[in-house]
Amino acid sequence: MQIYIAASWKHQHAVEMLTERLEERGHEVLSWLREGRPEEAFLSRRELEHFIYSPEGRRVFDFCAGSATGCDLVIYLGPSGCDAWAEVGAAYGRGTPILGLLAKSEEVGLMRLMIRSWHSSVASLLEAVREIEKGAFAERQVML
């Protein structure tokens, strides 16, 4: 499957580790880390504004938006910010299944229902990915 991970830059290392685990299982991860620039996480607000409106920023935006709406599965890694939630919303609107990796400090309201199932561990999340791949997925909701 093609999988997109919607997450904040603050989760860079977790995204890298999850990407590795998914690729070991034969999935293709459409990685904004590979497409973007890790140094974006350290830009000042002014530098970030400049990047966003630059041709490079547009290229990364197009990659992320296209990946979130064109993949087979989205994984949301929480807690993340407005960009990751926009990607989740875009994927949800296209009917793409979305799994969430729950974080203790997650502060999402009603829109949490866009996530097909929340998981409190990577092992549980990977099992759900396997179930989706086999067509044997059972939705699981947890209280946030």
64-106 pLDDT, tens digit per residue, is 999 999 999 999 999 998 999 999 999 999 999 999 998 887 7
Which pLDDT value is given to residue 51? 85
Q: What is the pLDDT at residue 38? A: 61
If one compares 5 and 12, the residue with the highest pLDDT of the two is 5
CATH of 2-134, one of 3.30.70.270, 3.40.50.720, 3.40.50.450, 3.40.50.1820: 3.40.50.450
Task: Give the pLDDT confidence score for residue 92 in this predicted structure.
Answer: 97
Please tell me the distance from the alpha carbon of residue 109 to that of residue 137, in angstroms, as a whole number: 24
To the nearest 10°, the Cα dihedral for 35, 39, 42, 43? -80
Tell me: the pLDDT tens digits for 106-134?
Answer: 778 899 999 999 999 999 999 999 999 98
Domains of the chain, residue spans: 2-134
Is residue 68 a contact partner of residue 91, using CB atoms and an 8 Å limit?
yes
